[in-house]
Amino acid sequence: MIDALTRTVVPPKPALWRRWTSLPMFSYYNRLLALVLMCNALVLLAVDFRAITVERFADMVLINLSVAILIRQQYLINALFWLATRVPRAWPLRVRRSAAKVYHFGGLHSGAALAATGWFAAMLVVQVARYLQQPGSVSSAWLWLSSVLLSLLMMMVIMALPRVRSRFHNGFERVHRFAGWGALLLFWGLTLLASSEASTPLLHSGSFWMLVLLTLSIALPWLRLRKVVVEHAQPSGHAVITRLSHTTPFAGSSTAISRNPLLEWHSFANIPAPGEAGFRLIISRAGDWTGRFIEDSPRHVWVKGITTAGVANVETLFKSVVYIATGSGIGPVMPHLLAAQVPTQLIWSTRSPRKTYGDELVDEILRAQPGALIWDTDERGKPDLVQLAYGAVQTVGAEAVICIANQALTQRVVHEMEARGIPAYGAIWDS
């Protein structure tokens, strides 16, 4: 099969006007982000900005803030994947390929967070102007709390910019956690202050109950924080296979683990095996944290929340799928190979697979899929995964490609496949 795929001729891309929807700038993520901003713009155009009350500003802030927070709730994420994957395979491919973009829901989060920050900034500007005209019309406490809150929101927006986030990911994570908690407390402070100044009972306020819901949503994963025992098998200095037994997750889910729950969390794909309790994680050397984890594997790790659905869950929407994986990207793919819910063709590119990940894991993969193409880059060099993916789709008649690799390679494979009319999916690195 390798020789046949390496001889595949990938056709040129169609004219731009025929494939414009496949361009990264028109991704479903960006479409959802733009939709949220457009809805907010329509609201802004429909009202007289000069006459809008602070209550209306607050309502728009809270509506957008609610969308931004709730769309990241683990239970809601799993519900969205469940709903999207209920689409029958008998339905037209164009419907199924759109439903499979469910994992782009982060566009709603980003759009709503930007809109909430914009509305809050506008509200603060209006209130400052009123304060300057009539100092007694706005309390100094409200202005101070709001100024600090806007600073936190702006800090979170800046740290979430793609280039900043990728370069300072640990900083992004900590700013979002601690600034997010601080922002929530300040929202509570503003709500209590507004209720006190207006002599309005809190229980009669919609803002109060929405803040209660948002607080519960944020707190829920932390209420499930626990320290669990782990076991390790280390086939090489590059990777460790960690086993957890506290639960048995569904195939296609991920778990976030930490050695210090207040500072740093890392998500890994769960690898449950049919008929076995517990699950495994493949942790490969990809930075300081994973390097320390491999060299000094802990006896316990922290976990929080519930296991959450990942991109590869969309495989059930298709009659057959080609999986492209590189290195430890085999982790998110393995549970789907073992579950065998959909006919698949695996192409795994990695350095010395048996030496790096162990004979047991490689043999397990080959038992699940004897026709898997395992490309040893130490022996054959780096492959053209676009060529291999396209060739595999044509050979096995697959309906879609799912790529689990580094960011640049994933984006390239997805774009090249989509440009040629082949549904393709991969992580989008939006968190």
Same domain assignment for residues 216 and 103: yes
Q: Are 191 and 91 contained in the same domain?
A: yes
Among 286, 304, 322, the domain boundary falls at 304
Domain boundary among 173, 197, 221: 221
- Clarify whether residues 138 and 267 are in a common domain: no
**CATH code of 347's domain:** 3.40.50.80
Q: Among the residues of 254-301, which ranges form H helices?
A: 288-295
Same domain, yes or no: 100 and 51: yes
Range(s) of the domain holding residue 405: 2-16+314-426
Residues 177, 262 within the same domain? no
Closest CA to 401 of 328, 330, 335, 346: 346
Residues 6+ positions from 325 with CB-CB distance below 8 Å? 332, 333, 346, 347, 348, 349, 350, 403, 404, 405
Decide if 42 is inside a domain: no
Q: What is the mean pLDDT of residues 154-182?
A: 89
> Which CA distances in Å does 359 have to 351, 355, 382?
14, 7, 22
What is the CATH number for 286? 2.40.30.10
Reported as a single tens digit per residue, the pLDDT across 179-237 is 999 999 999 999 888 888 776 777 777 888 999 999 999 999 999 999 999 999 999 98
Which pLDDT does position 200 carry in this prediction?
Answer: 72
Q: How many Å apart are CA 315 and CA 425, to the nearest integer?
A: 10
Looking at the structure of the chain, the number of domains it has is 3
Q: Which of 102, 104, 103 is nearest to 26 (CA)?
A: 104
Tell me, what amino acid is at 430? D
- Bridge partners (DSSP) of residue 264 are 260
- Contact criterion met (CB below 8 Å) for 81 and 313: yes
One domain, residues 290 and 242: yes
| E strand residue ranges, 88-148 | none
The domain boundary, picked from 166, 192, 221, lies at: 221
pLDDT in tens, 394-404: 999 999 999 99
Considering the domain boundaries, does residue 31 fall inside one?
A: no
Confirm whether pTM is higher than 0.85: yes
3-class secondary-structure state, position 115: helix
> Given this model, what pLDDT does residue 3 score?
65
pLDDT in tens, 127-137: 998 888 888 78
**Mean pLDDT computed over every residue of the chain:** 91
Helices (H) and strands (E) in the chain, counts: 19, 12
At residue 1 the predicted structure's pLDDT band, cuts being 50, 70 and 90, is low
Answer whether residue 160 is part of any domain: yes
